[in-house]
Amino acid sequence: MPKVTFIFRDGSQRSVEFEHGKLPYLEHGLPESFLDVAMNTGIHLEHACGGSCACTTCHVIVREGMQNLSDMEDNEADRLDTAWDLTTSSRLGCQAVIKGDVVVELPLYTRNYVQEGGAIQLGKPETPPTKDESEIRS
Where along the sequence are the contacts to ligand FES (CB under 6 A)? 47-49, 51, 53-58, 79, 92-94
Nearer to ligand FES (CB atom), residue 19 or residue 27: 27
Nearer to ligand FES (CB atom), residue 86 or residue 130: 86
Name the minimum Å distance from CB 55 to ligand FES: 4
Nearer to ligand FES (CB atom), residue 49 or residue 61: 49
Name the minimum Å distance from CB 20 to ligand FES: 21
Name the minimum Å distance from CB 136 to ligand FES: 26
Q: In b/e form, how buried is each residue of 113-130, taking b as 16+ CB within 10 angstroms?
A: beeeeeeebeeebeeeee
